[in-house]
Amino acid sequence: MYSTILVRYGELGLKGRNFDEFQQSLLDDIERRLGPCLDFSFDTTYGRIFIYPEGELLHIDDNIIRALKYTPGIVSFSPAIQLPADADLELLGDKGVELLPETAPEGELTFKVETNRANKKYPYDSMEISKKMGARVLREFEDSDQFDFEVDVHDPEILLEYDVRDNGIFIFTERYEGPGGLPAGTSEKALLLLSGGIDSPVAGWQVIRRGVQLTNLYFHTPPYTGERALEKVRDLTRVLARYNGPTDLYISNITGIQKQIWSNLPRSFSITLLRRMMMRIASGLAEELGAAGIVTGDSIGQVASQTLASLRTISAASELPLMRPLLTADKQDIISQARDIDTYSISIRPYEDCCTLFIPDNPITRPRLKRVKELEEDLDIDSLVTEALNSLQREQISSGKDTGQDE
């Protein structure tokens, strides 16, 4: 049935002199993800990648769909029948009516034919092809007991598409969405502060879509946060690894730091002081890893540590640029994206993270940097950061399961 998988990309096509480099990164990522479940070869033209399986596919396996669905840089893809570039209208009609029953449910159904004629040498224009193919469908199924097709050009239930190109004519009825953005690894590395909540996985996903390769850092406070909270973070990392590829998760035990701050310093400043310590630890790890920045799920005004004044004071503790892709996002939009990428149900598990513990009754919302630095004089910051970095645990997590652990 299907001889080709037609892959579309978006802003990748806007690249100039480095287009070939970006396209090759996408091809390499597709090969890495698709290789275990399909033997295939590639062809490319501007705006399209053609995946040719070795032998026709009667249907598209779920493993193939998942592999392409999670590939950054892919906007959409379609399993297609490929015909020669000079195929006549009769053959186009034959294959169209052959394909429709394979993908359309039985009974009454509205349809539309759309044609993209990139090959301007083909003797019929897009409108002519669409009209003739639509008429062919109506004639073919006029007396059918299984299918009752009716044309609806505004809101059809199924779309029969013809993509007329120099290297062939492609016929398809399905479009699967990909994540879009840029191919994996085409930007620099960054460190994601993964808390276990709703926001940080979405922030990580948005950065991955920009071609950034992520490493994750989770701050753990045993015994106040237990194994189930840590497993939640592992599961979130597994989901993000669908897009990011195998991902290192670093675990930092900051129980001692949190106790020192809570016991010895004004509790109204405890969140600000703790997050500044997190930034120092994250900066140290990021520099060791060669990461160019730190990613957080901060959103303006959502909690006390995310007022503009708090963000400024906390950011000052980082030696690297902070990326906050959700800074102006509405919470409901963040939740919607979390559902789309399958992290929401994990994030709402009722296991607290370190940022939800030791919360003061009246956290300061406009901490002045000068005052915070004065309070930090009572902390041995260099010693605490060094100890935290030396005690980091590393786990490598894939989209399927953990692949290794270092302590």
Alpha helices in 265-407 (DSSP H): 270-289, 308-315, 331-340, 344-347, 369-376, 381-390
> For 266-277, how does the pLDDT look when each residue is reduced to its tens digit (9 = 90+)?
999 999 999 999
Which pLDDT band, with edges at 50, 70 and 90, does 405 fall under? very low
For residue 233, the model assigns a pLDDT of 96
56-65 mean pLDDT: 90
- Considering the segment(s) 1-85 as one domain, its CATH architecture is 2-Layer Sandwich (3.30)
For residue 306, the model assigns a pLDDT of 87
> For 286-311, how does the pLDDT look when each residue is reduced to its tens digit (9 = 90+)?
999 999 999 999 999 888 788 999 99
Give yes or no for residue 144 having a pLDDT over 60.
yes
Residue appearing with tokens 């779920």? 62
Q: Are 48 and 7 in contact (CB under 8 A)?
A: yes
Model pTM? 0.85
For residue 351, the model assigns a pLDDT of 75
> For 369-387, how does the pLDDT look when each residue is reduced to its tens digit (9 = 90+)?
999 999 999 999 999 999 9
- Give CATH for domain 187-397: 3.40.50.620
> For 155-178, how does the pLDDT look when each residue is reduced to its tens digit (9 = 90+)?
999 999 999 999 999 999 999 999
Range(s) for CATH 3.30.70.1510 in the chain?
1-85
For residue 354, the model assigns a pLDDT of 57
What is the token pair recorded at 348?
């709402």
For residue 353, the model assigns a pLDDT of 66
Provide the CATH topology of domain 87-166.
Answer: VC0802-like (3.30.2130)
144-153 mean pLDDT: 94
- Judged by phi (left if over 0) then psi (alpha if -120 to 50, else beta), residue 140 lies in alpha
Residues in the annotated binding site? 193-194, 218-219, 275, 297, 306
Range(s) for CATH 3.40.50.620 in the chain?
187-397
Residue appearing with tokens 């596919």? 57
205-213 mean pLDDT: 95
The secondary structure of 96-165 as a DSSP string is HHHHHHHHSPSEEEEEEEEEEE--TTSSS-HHHHHHHHHHHHHHHTTT-SSEEEEE-SSS-SEEEEEEEE
Q: Are 151 and 134 in contact (CB under 8 A)?
A: yes
Q: Are 221 and 258 in contact (CB under 8 A)?
A: yes
> For 116-141, how does the pLDDT look when each residue is reduced to its tens digit (9 = 90+)?
999 999 999 999 999 999 999 999 99
Alpha helices in 209-265 (DSSP H): 227-244, 255-264
Q: For residues 407 and 404, give the distance between their C-alpha atoms in angstroms, rounded to a whole number.
A: 10
Q: For residues 177 and 83, give the distance between their C-alpha atoms in angstroms, rounded to a whole number.
A: 24
For residue 402, the model assigns a pLDDT of 46
Residues in the annotated binding site for ATP? 193-194, 218-219, 275, 297, 306
Range(s) for CATH 3.30.2130.30 in the chain?
87-166
Segment holding 214, helix H or strand E:
strand 213-220
> For 74-114, how does the pLDDT look when each residue is reduced to its tens digit (9 = 90+)?
999 999 999 999 999 999 999 999 999 998 899 999 999 99
Give yes or no for residue 189 having a pLDDT over 60.
yes
